[in-house]
Amino acid sequence: MQEPICLIENKPNEKLYVNQKALELLQAIQQPVVVVAIVGLYRTGKSYLMNKLAGKNKGFSLGATIQANTMGIWMWCLPHPKKHDHTLVLLDTEGLGDVEKSNTENDAWIFALSVLLSSTLVYNSMGTIDQTALEKLQYVTELTKCIKVKAIPPGCSKKETSGDFLRFFPAFIWTVRDFSLELELNGCPISADEYLENALQRKKDSPEKLDLAKKCIRQYFPSRKCFVLDRPTSRRELKNLENLSESKLNSDFVEELHSFLQYIYEKSKAKVIQGGHVVTGTMLGNLAVTYVDSIRSGTVPCIENAVLALAQIENSAAVQEAIKHYEDTRVQLLKLPTETVEELLTAHSKCEREAIQVFMTRAFNDEGQKYQRQLAMTLESMLQDLCSRNEQASLDRCQAVLKQLFQDMEEKTGDGTYSVPGGYQQFLNDQKEKLEQYQQVPGKGFMASKALQDYLKSKEAVAQSILNADRNLTDREKEAEVERVRAQAATQEAELHRKMKEEAIQMAKEKEESYEEHKRQLMAKMETDRKNQQLEHERMLNAKLQEERRLHEEGLRSEATRMQSEIQQLKQQLQDSQSRHDPCVIL
């Protein structure tokens, strides 16, 4: 993308909606996406930071007046500067709290969508992190009203906990602009991160609104980072900021800006969903549509429902992608007809193994292996079809060869060449020569014997007629020749049955090996999912333990005690995830 495009439009007096052109661009990205969204009050310089992340001076619209420029959520997709085969998706949002907007109720939805879609959320503010700044961050306190994690049925007593949100929320970065204070605490220098954590300390006598904002940030965003940036230039030059070279900017601002950019490039992770499954641009587009559709319908976006809907879309696409890979690989690897069934089955096994890998890479949350079973059944059907086409291709080839080789014998039979004394022996000699030539013809396929046997059987009446007409042979010689031909046919029939039995055994073996391959790859995927889930539980547990310690230090012992139940539950989940259970494979 050479420039940003509006992904989610927010027009006056209208509901939010997804821009189809932007959606098509996003859904065309098959790579994992690192999604960085920036939110904050209007006219705080959000777009400037995003342009710098894009490596550009211009792109996202900057404004030099008190009026907000960005409306909705704008997107810019770029190759990631540090992560190979990843795409950096930048989301610039309209400013929150603009008094001139006619639909200010959408502010909360814009904030919620930024949280839902991003892997790193940047909150941009001006001045300092003080009581006023925290009070303006009211949208954090309203997240539970705008986002549901679980699809809890009406009337169910089960409630969502902060841990549920913690599991899905992005990393949090607070950028403080035009910061002019010294980073000191009690006379000692501190880092920007320590400045943020100190600002988030809770006190028993804190105003409820302020305390709630601190509580929500700490509980929902365990990964927190802070950058404090001095004013980039004089107030007079701010309107030309995008045209100024770095040499004309405040050196302290430039230094901190570079630190911010490098941190995003190196530390921001690809977006993942439940189970640690990495999100691609295609998946991100589908998530955006699902969430916006929920908002438009008047319901609260539910992460669990969105993931389930996404799983259905992705698993169906995974089946189709796997089938296409199988067919493309098969065309490259196998030319029909094959000389043996074994050759076909070997090629099929390789194509099937790769197809399953393609499916496993994209599929997730495949409950009861519904989609894997669909893939297995389709591949089995494709194998049967392949065998049929291979058989027919071999028969067609053999019949064409036989017709060409025996054409002159057909003509001799028709003009009576063999209907003379000694003609039968001449017929046998010619037939023997043709059979030797037939054996030398390449590329006939594994139906060569069957095709030849069928052809000779179709000519038995002709051969018998020539034999009966040959006056050089006695009746006894003719009877002996009939017995010889009959015995030869019986031998060929037995050999054909033996080959068919061997092929049936090979097909049965292939089916068993196919089942084992599906099971092997499924177990490997489930083990990976189990490890991802374990890491997720460990991350959440560490965050809860850290928060519990802080609550004790701050004297909020009642909250720390309540958190103990969540910690015990997480420990149990972690213990369960460490116990591996073999999957019940139903194929």
Encode burial over 411-446: b for 16+ CB neighbours within 10 A, e otherwise: ebbeeebbeeeebbbebbebeeebeeebeeeeebbb
Ranking 92-106, 282-296, 462-476 by mean pLDDT, the lowest is 92-106
> What residue has token string 């609104």?
209
Instruction: Check: CB of residue 587 under 8 Å from CB of residue 366.
Output: no
Rounded Cα distance between 300 and 482, Å, is 87
25 and 171 inside one domain: yes
203 and 352 inside one domain: no
| Section 173-198 average pLDDT | 93
pLDDT of residue 503: 85
Q: What tens digit of pLDDT does each residue of 196-249 get?
A: 999 999 887 777 777 888 988 998 887 899 999 999 887 777 777 777 888 888
Domain boundary among 518, 538, 572: 518
Is residue 542 situated within a structural domain? no
Is residue 190 situated within a structural domain? yes
pLDDT of residue 349: 95
Domain boundary among 250, 266, 301: 301
pLDDT of 331 > 80? The answer is yes
161 and 38 inside one domain: yes
Secondary structure (3-state) at 132? helix
Residues 90, 74, 171, 166, Cα dihedral to 10°: -140
pLDDT of 373 > 90? The answer is yes
Rounded Cα distance between 354 and 360, Å, is 10
For the domain that residue 467 is a member of, what is the CATH number?
1.20.1000.10
pLDDT of residue 581: 53
pLDDT of residue 43: 73
Domain boundary among 261, 276, 301: 301
Q: What tens digit of pLDDT does each residue of 268-322 get?
A: 999 999 878 899 999 999 999 999 999 999 999 999 999 999 999 999 999 999 9
Is residue 568 situated within a structural domain? no
pLDDT of 147 > 80? The answer is yes
pLDDT of 14 > 60? The answer is yes
pLDDT of 401 > 80? The answer is yes
Give this prediction's pTM. Answer: 0.82
78 and 168 inside one domain: yes
292 and 322 inside one domain: no
pLDDT of residue 68: 45
Domain that holds residue 394: 318-518
Rounded Cα distance between 287 and 36, Å, is 15
- Reported as a pLDDT band with limits 50, 70 and 90, residue 519 is very high
Look at the chain and report how many structural domains it folds into: 2
pLDDT of 584 > 60? The answer is no
pLDDT of 99 > 70? The answer is no
Mean pLDDT over each residue of the chain, to the nearest integer: 88
Is residue 22 situated within a structural domain? yes
403 and 265 inside one domain: no
pLDDT of residue 70: 58
278 and 401 inside one domain: no
pLDDT of residue 64: 38
pLDDT of 158 > 80? The answer is no
Ranking 47-56, 380-389, 570-579 by mean pLDDT, the lowest is 570-579
Q: Please name the amino acid found at residue 448.
A: A
Angle at 471 between CA 465 and CA 477, to 5 degrees: 80
For the domain that residue 18 is a member of, what is the CATH number?
3.40.50.300
pLDDT of residue 111: 93
pLDDT of residue 529: 86
Rounded Cα distance between 301 and 110, Å, is 12
406 and 510 inside one domain: yes
Is residue 115 situated within a structural domain? yes
pLDDT of residue 103: 60
Is residue 587 situated within a structural domain? no
Is residue 584 situated within a structural domain? no
pLDDT of residue 433: 94
78 and 214 inside one domain: yes
25 and 163 inside one domain: yes
pLDDT of residue 579: 66
Rounded Cα distance between 430 and 425, Å, is 9
278 and 346 inside one domain: no
Q: What tens digit of pLDDT does each residue of 472-490 get?
A: 877 788 788 888 888 888 8
330 and 259 inside one domain: no
SS (H, E, C) 442-472: CCCCCCHHHHHHHHHHHCHHHHHHHHHHCCC
Rounded Cα distance between 503 and 345, Å, is 10
Rounded Cα distance between 187 and 7, Å, is 47
- Reported as a pLDDT band with limits 50, 70 and 90, residue 67 is very low
pLDDT of residue 578: 67
